[in-house]
Amino acid sequence: MSDSDDMGSAARALSAAVVALTRAVGQGLTEAGREITDEIVAELRQASDELADTSTKVVAVGAGRRRPKTRKTATDKTATKPSHGTPADRRRARAEQTRAQLLAAAATVFAEKGYEGSSVGDVAAEAGYTKGAVYVHFDSKEDLLAGIVAQMAETDEEFFATGPTSVSALFCSGDDDPETLRRTLLALEVYTYAVRHPEARSRMAPLVASTWDHAARLLAANRTGDQGTQDVVPSQDDRDLALVLLSVHTFAQMIGPVLGDGTAPASAARTVDRLLAAQTADAAAGPQAGR
């Protein structure tokens, strides 16, 4: 990217920050509004600095073109110093990092306190940012949840693309695994929100559908002996069994910590093993076993 491109990018960022600041001021300075404005002012200052920095570089380059060329020596380290990206690249990277940190904080807060019981302030505090920083990157708490749903769908795709090592282990995670419990709680928050807010179901449905479909494909691959799940077409029996195993897994995850005696995960493991054994026996009995 040329210096003129850098200047254009910095100028556009400065212009966008000015527009955002004007809008915020026009909406009135409530407590949240003041925090948002503070964040915009910071972006405005940063964009202004980058524009000034780029302008200085352009002037220096122009002056350098008028000076006689000098031979670079091995000791001239600045001549070979690698670039760390353009101002626009650095600004984009910082924004992506902040967005990722806010989504991770929201996932933690929603799993611990529940979506309805959490606030944007809770997410900001967990991430170590102000509420204004959250609103710079997300329109609302629901927008945060939508971002989490997109992340969960992407994670599911990656997980099932590589293939779990054991079908049984996938549905039999014990209640002593904090990360598995956190993911289950977070998924339940998504499902509960979609049930309570019909207008949001179209945004949440793809995650629910893909989770069920991936599980059915995994069971179909287990039944047929295929190595991958991408080209496997699950039967209705595979989809039915996937729904049963997902239900057993989820319910065991919920009541396990409540009972605290290990009986729920043990019962879930026996149930999963028994159902998988029945699937294997049906597959060995002939093609009519799986419709």
pLDDT in tens, 114-173: 999 999 999 999 999 999 999 999 999 999 999 999 998 888 777 777 665 567 777 776
Helix (H, G, I), strand (E, B) or coil at 234: coil
pLDDT at residue number 40: 55
Tell me the fold of 142-289. Answer: Tetracycline Repressor; domain 2 (1.10.357)
DSSP state at residue 289: G
**pLDDT at res. 79:** 38
Q: Would you state the pLDDT for residue 52?
A: 46
- Which residue numbers in the chain have pLDDT < 70? 1-84, 162-166, 173-176, 227-230, 286-291
Query: CATH fold of 89-138, please?
Result: Arc Repressor Mutant, subunit A (1.10.10)
Reported pTM = 0.66
What pLDDT is stored for residue 198 in this prediction?
95
Domain boundaries, the chain: 1-59, 89-138, 142-289
pLDDT at 107: 96
In the Cβ-directed half-sphere of 135, how many Cα atoms lie within 13 Å? 18
DSSP 14-62: HHHHHHHHHHHHHH---HHHHHHHHHHHHHHHHHHHHHHHHHHHHHHHH
Same fold, 89-138 and 142-289: no
